[in-house]
Structure 1
Amino acid sequence: MGLYSVGLDVGGSWVRAAIGTKEGAILKREAERVSSESGESFVKQIGGLVLRVCEGDLSKVSGIGIGAAGRLDMRKGVVGFSPHTGIRDVPLVEALEESLGKEVILLNDCVAAALAEKTIGAGKGTDDIVYVGIGTGIGGGIVSGSKLLLGKDGNAHEIGHMTIDLEGKLACNCGGRGHWEAYTSGSALPIYSRLLAGVYDGLEAPLLGRLESLASSKEIFEAHRSGDAFAKYILDKAAGINAIGFSNLANLYDPSIITVGGGLALKNVEEVIRPIDRLLPSLSFNRPPKVLPTPLGEDAPLLGAVVSVFELGALT
């Protein structure tokens, strides 16, 4: 077995690659915007990034791990559908193994993060862990009884597509309605804000006057920090939805800890993660788990992809 592995984190906007060790030490990394023009361009981009982080030399590489957002067929090595990029039915594993001559492992990005949490992160030595990523979308990874929960196709983790609104007022990127991801993910918060404006009856707030041009969730957090009353209302409502989602996870999987990653959550810990931890005891039937930011930061899925080459067999 080679000394190193290559890991890739394929998110809704970016693909990141790194060469690293079994212990999760990163030696070199690269990143690019995801190419979603075609399946062929996507495969070519992934292969090119692998070669760049290895500087063209794969002789010391044991294998390649990929954590990808979206619906997968893990057994066949196919990226079935990524709602944020539009990529469909790409036989990624077969194409890369043929072109690079190395074993390729395909996992959901948040499952990869859960694997990293269990082996080198906050869950080391813990049997039952849930990882939740709140970023462009919302995803999860579960370790139960020290085993990764995968399901028949490798998709036993699509927590962002839990229905949290039976009326389905907002549409999800996947085409469904009323999903958790459609309300409190980074891509959804501006849309959810416009929905909330119709029922808000609080103090006048500058944010109300620029809702139609609101382009990113970042603006909501900035408004909240400047004392905007409507921004506070939005984030309070979002915290309530997130806490319901987390209570469902606590009741389903009874984990010792839930670690939280994703760009939106990690950049706004006080507004996103702390309220969940505060609200969870009143919502969970089971003894509530600890809720904490992942110590692995935004690298959690990437590190999981790196260590999957060495650790996946022991956890499945």
Structure 2
Amino acid sequence: MIITIDVGGTKISAALIKGTKVIKVRKVDSIIHQDLANLASYLVNLCEGWAEQAFTVAVACTGLVGAERVNFLSANDSLPLKQQLEIGFGLPVVMLNDAAAAAWAEYTLRLDRTDNTLAYITVSTGVGGGIVQNGKLVMADDGFCAHIGHMSVSRPDLPVIECHCGRFNCVEALSSGTAIANQASSILNKGVSCKTVFNEHLSHPEIALLLEQATDSIVELIANIRALTGTRVVVLGGSVGSTNLFQERIKTKLKALPKIYHVELLAPVSGEHADLIGAALYAGSVIGCD
């Protein structure tokens, strides 16, 4: 079996996985923004009692997952997390970005696929993604690769918004759940979550316009990805991206693009444990067993 860990900014999940079957799951709050220095020991403790049942550890992690270090952009710090976990578990560790893990799950589990290139976009707290190009997961030694949420898009008639990465009009700064909540809070003159925006304020004219602008940015991102990778398949997931409202509006707007930019927009098939399953499948492919 494989110990699989999904390290997010808000939550951390761990599971024992055999093949694609989740045997056991544990979930805790994340400590990335409170106690990053002790993250490795926190993860080892979370998986107490599992090491003797597993042959490796697969980690899907937020941030820039490089060969030597993980750069946690939102925490403005980095860790040699792979090395720390190998010492803590006494097992080999395979690490990749969490959205890349979900992309690999989507690619691997779609047994009816006819194309070997696929792009995965998650619209949730942030905007992330992963790309499988010609059957291989696109990765880079420093971890800064396929971070499509930090691709900027054109919005000439609207105010410029700075992203936490330092650039302007990144899709994450325009269309993420955090961005929608921040902009809606300004419009409504009170603090609201993205979930509250969707549940209670869709009839507000300025909120409706905000969501149109957010979906416009995702559509432009998809067109850019299509031009860059040639993919004809895009999977749109995440707590925001998976909503019917987002999916249907984006599908409609994609049809209005020039035909060369048309893609098949699909909902995820990998379920709530996409990152965990994808990391396990990727580790199994790297090591050569499951």
Q: Same fold (TM over 0.5)?
A: yes
Determine which of 224, 233, 238 is the counterpart of 1:257: 233
How does 1:46-85 map onto structure 2 within 5 Å?
46-51=43-48, 56-73=49-66, 75-76=67-68, 78-83=69-74
Encode CA deviations 1:171-217: one digit per residue, 9 max, x unaligned: 2233332211001101111233367x5xxxxxxxxxxxxx2213211
1:116 matched residue in structure 2: 105
How many residues end up aligned between the 2 structures? 285
1:280 matched residue in structure 2: 254
**Structure 1 counterpart of 2:15, which letter?**
A
Alpha-carbon spacing, 1:105–1:72, altered in 2? closer, same or farther (3 Å): same
2:84 matched residue in structure 1: 95
Whether the aligned pair in 2 keeps the contact of 1:117 and 1:123 (CA below 8 Å) is no
Q: CA deviation at 1:90?
A: 0.8
Q: Distance in 1 between matches of 2:43 and 2:176?
A: 26
Q: Distance in 1 between matches of 2:76 and 2:8?
A: 11
Determine which of 135, 156, 169 is the counterpart of 1:146: 135
Identity of counterpart residues, as a percentage? Answer: 25
Task: Give the match's secondary structure for 2:55.
Answer: strand
1:212 matched residue in structure 2: 189
Encode CA deviations 1:46-97: one digit per residue, 9 max, x unaligned: 111222xxxx142331211111111221x21x111231xx162211111111
Q: CA deviation at 1:162?
A: 0.7
Q: CA deviation at 1:169?
A: 1.8
Q: Which runs of 5+ in 2 are unaligned?
A: none
Q: Distance in 2 between matches of 1:288 and 1:82?
A: 33
**Structure 1 counterpart of 2:165, which letter?**
C
Whether the aligned pair in 2 keeps the contact of 1:38 and 1:87 (CA below 8 Å) is no
Q: Which runs of 5+ in 1 are unaligned?
A: 198-210
Q: Distance in 1 between matches of 2:258 and 2:17?
A: 38
Say if 2:39 is the partner of 1:42: yes
Task: Give the match's secondary structure for 1:258.
Answer: strand
User: Over the residues paired in the alignment, what is the CA RMSD in angstroms?
Assistant: 2.2
Say if 2:235 is the partner of 1:241: no
Whether the aligned pair in 2 keeps the contact of 1:97 and 1:104 (CA below 8 Å) is yes
Task: Give the match's secondary structure for 1:153.
Answer: coil
Length-normalised TM-score, structure 1: 0.83
Length-normalised TM-score, structure 2: 0.90
